[in-house]
């Protein structure tokens, strides 16, 4: 097979996600070379038409665009560093989950090799790659995004470019993942709290799910408040929250379930009330949170 074909793709890393991407790329009709650190894990892709390379640099030599999907940023930099001059002048799309600082570091490395860098974040499981359900965010090289747009769009239903800062896509990804972790953490703590108080999780859970599902309009109103500085009272005034929060913390601690995030929240409420925002809505707390950023 002619490895120098226009439009060919190298996929470095064929774990669960890298394999799903490689299969979607092959299904899109692109000549594809794959490499994986543990070579046995790449072999199955041969049946889908992939060429198996012995090293990252061998895979990259044949590629018009280089895709990286390994465990984490440390692994990315290890793989990229092993490429030597093979990456010079090429286009690189990194699907490995990164935070913004890591994405910017990888972009600086690519720039030093005269390579174009597009950072990618995946909000989907491997089973959804190539389907309408998959959401993929991109930022960094617009040239790479535009030149390979059709290929990138074939990976998921939502494919969005968030501008030239390579950290932008990673920032949205990191915030969404963190929102998930914090929601699950709170949910599990409250399940433990309900149990400790003798409640039935089957009774409580539908109430909790309804409460989370119906909170969309409130979350949207908070964005407007954060942007305008006008904090409406949809969730009640801070003076009410100041009183309720102390009781909530006492009850959680008496039940033996930690209340550290709530104590932080109470400190912000108290600071805001102290500054005179006693009659503002809950979203006013964003000002206190913004003050903790530096």
Ligand X SMILES: NC(=O)c1ccc[n+]([C@@H]2O[C@H](COP(=O)([O-])OP(=O)(O)OC[C@H]3O[C@@H](n4cnc5c(N)ncnc54)[C@H](OP(=O)(O)O)[C@@H]3O)[C@@H](O)[C@H]2O)c1
Task: Give me the residues that bind ligand X (CB under 6 A), please.
Answer: 13-18, 36-38, 41, 69-72, 75, 78-79, 96-97, 122, 125-126
CB of 72 to ligand X, least distance (A): 6
Return the closest-CA partner of residue 95 out of 117, 128, 124, 119.
119
**Closer CB to ligand X, 13 or 130, in the complex:** 13
**Closer CB to ligand X, 36 or 141, in the complex:** 36
**Closer CB to ligand X, 43 or 146, in the complex:** 43
Among all residues, whose Cβ is closest to ligand X?
A: 15
CB of 149 to ligand X, least distance (A): 21
186: burial class by Cβ within 10 Å (0-12, 13-18, 19+)? Answer: middle
Query: Alpha-carbon distance 142 to 147, whole Å?
Result: 8
Query: Alpha-carbon distance 254 to 168, whole Å?
Result: 42
Query: Alpha-carbon distance 265 to 15, whole Å?
Result: 40
**Closer CB to ligand X, 13 or 31, in the complex:** 13
Element (H, E) at 268: helix 260-274
**Closer CB to ligand X, 75 or 221, in the complex:** 75
CB of 44 to ligand X, least distance (A): 12
DSSP letter string, 64-88 = SEEEE--SSHHHHHHHHHTTGGGGT
CB of 78 to ligand X, least distance (A): 5
CB of 270 to ligand X, least distance (A): 38
């Amino acid at each position: 097979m002619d490895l120098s074909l226009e439009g060919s793709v190298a996929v470095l890393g064929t774990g669960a996600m890298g394999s799903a991407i490689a299969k979607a790329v092959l299904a899109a009709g692109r000549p594809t070379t794959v490499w994986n650190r543990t070579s046995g894990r790449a072999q199955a892709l041969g049946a889908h038409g992939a060429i198996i390379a012995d090293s990252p640099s061998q895979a990259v030599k044949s590629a018009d665009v280089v895709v990286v999907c390994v465990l984490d940023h440390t692994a990315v930099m290890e793989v990229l560093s092993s490429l030597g001059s093979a990456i010079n002048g090429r286009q690189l799309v990194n699907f490995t989950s990164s935070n913004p600082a890591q994405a910017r570091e990888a972009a600086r490395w690519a720039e030093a090799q005269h390579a174009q860098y597009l950072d990618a974040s995946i909000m989907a499981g491997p089973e959804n790659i190539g389907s309408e359900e998959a959401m993929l965010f991109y930022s960094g090289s617009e040239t790479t995004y535009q030149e390979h747009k059709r290929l990138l769009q074939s990976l998921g239903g939502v494919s969005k470019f968030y501008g030239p800062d390579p950290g932008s896509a990673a920032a949205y990804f990191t915030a969404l993942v963190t929102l998930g972790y914090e929601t699950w953490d709170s949910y599990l703590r409250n399940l433990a709290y309900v149990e400790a108080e003798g409640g039935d999780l089957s009774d409580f859970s539908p109430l909790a799910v309804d409460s989370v599902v119906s909170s969309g309009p409130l979350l949207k109103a908070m964005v407007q408040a954060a942007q305008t500085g006008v904090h409406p009272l949809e969730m009640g005034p801070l003076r009410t929250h100041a009183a309720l929060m102390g009781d909530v913390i006492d009850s959680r601690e008496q039940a033996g379930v930690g209340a550290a995030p709530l104590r932080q929240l109470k400190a912000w409420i108290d600071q805001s009330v102290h500054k005179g925002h006693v009659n503002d809505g809950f979203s006013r707390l964003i000002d206190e949170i913004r003050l903790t950023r530096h």
